[in-house]
Chains A and B, each alone.
Chain A
Amino acid sequence: MAADGTEPKVETSPKVSDEVRCTTCYMCACRCGINVHLREDADGKMKVRYIEGNRRHPVNKGVLCAKGSAGIMQHYSPARLRKPLKRVGERGAGEFQEIEWDEALQIATGWLEAVRQDDPKKLAFFTGRDQSQSFTSWWAQQYGTPNYAAHGGFCSVNMAAGGIYTLGGAFWEFGSPDWDRTKLFMVFGVAEDHDSNPIKAGIGKLKTAGGRVIGVNPVRTGYNAVADEWVGITPGTDGLFILAMVHELLRSGHVDIEYLSRWTNAGYLVERSPGERFGLFTRDKDDKPLVWDLNTGEAVPFDTPGTKPALKGEFPSVEGGRCVPVFELMARKYLEPEYAPEAVAEKCGISAATIKRLAAEIADIAFNQAFEIPCEWTDFRGEKHLSFKGRPVSFHAMRGISAHSNGFQTCRALHILQLLLGAVETPGSFRFKPPYPKPVEAHPAPHANSVPGSPLNGPHLGFPRSPDDLAIEDDGTAKRIDKAFTWENPLSSHGMMHMVISNAYAGDPYPIDVLFMYMANMSWNSSMNTKGVIEMLTAKRDDGEYVIPKIIYSDAYSSEMVAYSDLILPDTTYLERHDCISLLDRPIGEIDAACDAIRWPVVEPDRDVRGFQSALLDLGARLSLPGFVNDDGSAKYADYADYMVNHQRRPGVGPLAGWRGNGGGEGRGEPNPDQLQRYIENGGFWECHIPDKARFMKPFNMEYQDWAVERGFFDKPFPYVFQLYAEPLRKFQMAAEGYGDKLPPEHLRDRLQMAMDPLPVWWEPFEGMQVDNSEFPYHAITQRPAAMYHAWGSQNAWLRQIHGENPLYVPGPIMEAHGLEDGGWARVSSHHGSIVVPIRRMEAVNCKTMWSWNAIGKREGAWALGDGAPETTRGFLLNHLIHELLPPKGDGLRWSNSDPVTGQAAWYDLRVKIEPAEEHEASEPRVSAQKSPVGQGPEDLAYGEEWK
């Protein structure tokens, strides 16, 4: 109280802001809705006073994570680039000259025009944390280079591909647990994930309602810390663990026979007579797979009404051979003793008893707590149903599974487990977000035929159905610089960004002239073998020219990659530009609604920067790419906002689905000039609820199919059943057996035989298989910190106080075994390299696994950080230990350190040894400092003073 003895008067209703503008967060790919409070400062400039979650937004429903809450510091970061930059010093030095936009775009046009007329392949255009892939890929397609992809190849393509080939949708963003109805949630290998806020909200809701969370993860932090049960699995063994549970469920008959026979290909008849059809489905003349109908005793198309498919037995195939239902093949395979809990327990580091108990618990909840939602609906066979059967068990998985060289098949194994329980698209289980699910057939196949001066023959990325879809020349060499869609990784549906720099450096399959990148810190935390990559980026030919001659890069901040680029196109921050989160792209749908959203300039840039998409449109026009210019050669789109409204991919279908045509159009309709205004009025997003009858069983539910077609997700109904048995994989396997005209090289045949199994299998992660496990006995992995986003959180004055450095967390037993000291230093080595880092002791972790937070380590001079910043002295990257190639094998060949099916980078296969090291003043290896084109951040901050 005040000196006079009375309580001071507190202003309890102070003014908060002058205006609130609703847009979409971009501190990560969760893309939550935010209310940006703006308030005038002393000199009348609108400044961001406060950012809060948008309560009405389907994704975050009002909540906001640490990164989003630190958006102010991100937006006003001292590391923001201010003007286009032209490199004047050596690559890597960070010496630049500021230039005008017109000059920058002219330089770029000059480089790109020449390449396009000569050989479009010589441009490699790769984008990282890109949220406009449908646009950037379209640009690349019109330009004509086959060398385009986003970052999915090193991120989580295993989840995407595993999901699409099995379910027609993936964990990775395209589905979610039915949080309101699920009673058991089992999460594999997730620290944060893209769906970061919804997962936190879901776990909170589920546990508060008395539900159970089981965390399968070598490390018990974050979601796994709050899990009711923690399964501290040994890295790389999830496939075995899952298939052992499958074994248990099959052995005890805890599988949803009805679900399997109706909604999966369990009944499809598989050719068993030796020959070039062995393992393929037997089909009728219009190519429909057949099932054996127990009612009529004959083979009928799978979608015939009223069929009761046989799940076991041997039957005649159309081709006169013998065939067996998928289910019997699967059951026989997984009932083999090699999949018994006892057989896998030791490898997984999980006792057989635990595996059995978990299988029992899952089955118990799935079947004994099943429920029904009364609701009439009709399936694609025309059969009517009176209710949706609920299965209250849900699963989720991410990079803990995908970032291994066996991730694709492990992901499929998990989907098989879900399907055996009838726990996909049923109430209470894992359900899809429109526009998903979509079967493989609804997706394009890859295209890679480039012709000078003209567009590519089709979209770059897709889902190969057979070897015919591979992107290889007749002599077998790769058409793409990243060697995606080759025999080394046939189903690399997201491309392989992590191979681009090393392949371009090696000129294998061919040299390139221009490397054009967007939003990816490829010279640092985004690459394996960081130091090696830096050497490749700076390597010169005899004639003094860089081996990778020209590098154009768009970043918004002074990152490590900026220093290694020749021409910088400075982007705006997420609060300063137009952007669309489109259904054509990685949408933000919810399980009960289709949604998309926009970003718009809620504050004006105070620097000479441009939204990258607008700059790319300008480049497209300067190159007069088809679709970017009018007949008179003038630019077709003024900027990205114009494109978002007026571009049409298919007649009536554009980047934004909301308020089309006269404003009433949902998904389809003519461009609507006030579309953006309508989005802004609605809080920056569009949400279209699925009618009750259409909410569940989407792939089979005609109400959903018709609803989806009306909204333009696809042009005709696309019902299908889930694929326990993946026939496309079998086609590659057959090629490996010597069938067909496109055959893999000898040295890859055994590997393809193993990897392309149409039923999920497990193999030892490659690095573990190839290095001497007695020399490298331990696993080393990274985790996403909840309060950091990769590299870019470190320029954030608030977040860097939370994670300014990253010790390596080492299990107690390992500390003791090697006389390591808590808080001391250690040298950690892999087959490729070694690092010296600070260490800390931890018990709640798999006893063979050490880990650290990802991407905290920084290069001196980057991110406008001051000298001796802890990120550069006590921070480090595990990337220095991980190589994009595995050690040479007997045959002298080096396989890439990735999944043999998809090419997914196998970050978490890493094997290491550890020994004590004396105290260092900085972690090793140390990369020399880069000059900062933006100077260093200010000493002190007192944000908000202006309003006092």
Chain B
Amino acid sequence: MTTLPDSTQKKLGLVIDLDICVGCHACAVNCKEWNTGGYGSALSDQDAYGAEATGTWLNRIHTYEVTPDHGPAQIIHFPKSCLHCEDAPCVTVCPTGASYKRAEDGIVLVNEDACMGCGLCAWACPYGARELDAKAGVMKKCTLCVDRIYNENLPEEDRVPACVRACPAGARHFGDLGDPDSEVNQIVADRGGFGLMVEQGTKPVNRYLPPRPRDAHESSPVDLVELAEPEAKGFLGWLDRALEKVG
């Protein structure tokens, strides 16, 4: 039934580095490419070549403009997929039992054979991480590539989510956020990773690494002239001395 497991053995999830995400959409497209032929029904597209093209995606890249109090405005790229919440409201609202959270690894999944397409779970998700597929009539969401991460037909090294494997910038990490010693948790600790809309009480598992401070110059050295030897005899004078030093 769609009650949540009291606890899960693992808390598998993604860690996304907003400092190096260049917003290239590779993760979103590769996600669609893998999943449309993978878990459950295909991710369909409507009016695919027409005026109102739309389709089902499990991962979408938003772009925000952030204007700090001081310094120029910044652009931050922001990938978003299911955060595999510990207190997933999308699970408990489901009347059919199709929506559930795996006790073994915490992945939140939809059992499409049981889904009646009422859309209530999508309403319950504060993050907009569930999309009802118009053709199949069932709810689609990030599966954390459950059909890759344990897949014995794939080489060991490839048993990671498609989006993680594809990301050209290396901005996506996958691992067990429940294990304090896991690599992902290390990164989260070092970089002050955060969860989204915690006030919604969903206890999201995925973490986002904040962009490092932009346009901060404190770090940069003092005036160049101070770095240089005194300009006493002018540049060509300096040149003489420099030449002395050379071999």
Contact = CB atoms under 8 A, between A and B. Distances in A.
Q: Do chains A and B touch in the complex (CB under 8 A)?
A: yes
Interface of A: 1-3, 5, 7-8, 10-16, 39, 49-53, 55, 60, 62-66, 68-70, 72, 78, 196-197, 200-201, 203-205, 207-208, 220-230, 232, 248-254, 257-258, 261, 294, 308, 310-312, 328, 331, 335, 356-357, 359-361, 363-364, 367-368, 786-787, 795, 797-802, 804, 842-844, 864-870, 873, 936-945, 947-948
Contacts of B55: 797-798, 801, 941
Contacts of B147: 10-14
B242 A7 contact: no
Q: What's the dominant secondary structure at chain B's contact region? A: loop
Given A220-B75, A843-B67, A252 B37 contact: no
Nearest to A248: B224
A367 B221 CA distance: 12
B42 interface: yes
Given A251-B231, A843-B73, A867-B51, A13 B25 contact: no
A8 B169 contact: no
B222 interface: yes
A201 B223 contact: no
A869 B33 contact: no
Given A261-B246, A940-B135, A252 B227 contact: yes
Contact of A66 (B28, B42, B75, B214): B28
B37 A253 contact: no
Contact of B48 (A261, A368, A797, A868): A797
B29 A69 contact: yes
B70 interface: no
| 5 smallest beta-carbon distances between A and B, as pairs | A937-B49, A944-B37, A866-B50, A843-B73, A200-B168
A640 to B, nearest CB: 29
A222 to B, nearest CB: 5
A261 B17 CA distance: 44
B199 interface: no
13 contacts: A14-B153, A204-B170, A207-B20, A250-B235, A312-B236, A359-B224, A786-B22, A844-B65, A873-B51, A939-B46, A940-B47, A944-B38, A945-B42
A223 B23 CA distance: 9
Most buried by A among B36, B224, B227, B228: B224
B165 to A, nearest CB: 7
A359 B73 CA distance: 23
- The CB with the most chain B CB atoms within 10 A, among A252, A253, A797, is that of A253
A225 B23 contact: yes
For chain B, give the interface size range: 35 or more
Contacts of B38: 14, 944
Nearest to A799: B29
A580 to B, nearest CB: 25
Contacts of B51: 866-870, 873
Contact of B46 (A69, A70, A226, A940): A940
Given A225-B75, A253-B228, 15 more contacts: A2-B97, A2-B114, A8-B111, A66-B28, A70-B33, A222-B22, A261-B243, A311-B239, A356-B224, A360-B224, A360-B227, A802-B25, A938-B48, A939-B47, A944-B37
Interface in B109-155: 109, 111, 113-114, 135-136, 146-147, 149-154
B20 A866 contact: no
Given A64-B166, A868-B50, A229 B243 contact: no
A331 B239 contact: yes
B72 interface: yes
Interface string B161-196: 010011111110000000000000000000000000
A3 B243 contact: no
Nearest to A12: B150
B50 A939 contact: yes
Interface in B233-247: 235-236, 238-239, 242-243, 245-247
Contacts of A253: 228-229, 231, 235, 238-239, 242
Contact of B24 (A3, A205, A229, A786): A786
B165 A52 contact: yes
Given A13-B150, A13-B153, A252-B231, A230 B25 contact: no
B168 A804 contact: no
Contact of B227 (A14, A254, A943): A254
Interface string B59-88: 000010101000011111100000000000
A359 B225 CA distance: 11
B146 A12 contact: yes
Contact of A844 (B2, B74, B220): B74
A63 B166 CA distance: 4
B7 to A, nearest CB: 15
A36 to B, nearest CB: 12
A548 B197 CA distance: 63
A7 B162 CA distance: 24
B168 A941 contact: no
B50 A865 contact: yes
Contacts of A941: 44-45, 48, 55
Contacts of A69: 26, 29-30, 32-33, 166
A258 B246 contact: yes
B246 A940 contact: no
A799 B32 CA distance: 11
B181 to A, nearest CB: 20
Contacts of A786: 22-26
B198 interface: no
B132 to A, nearest CB: 14
A53 B166 contact: yes
A204 B171 contact: yes
Contacts of A947: 37
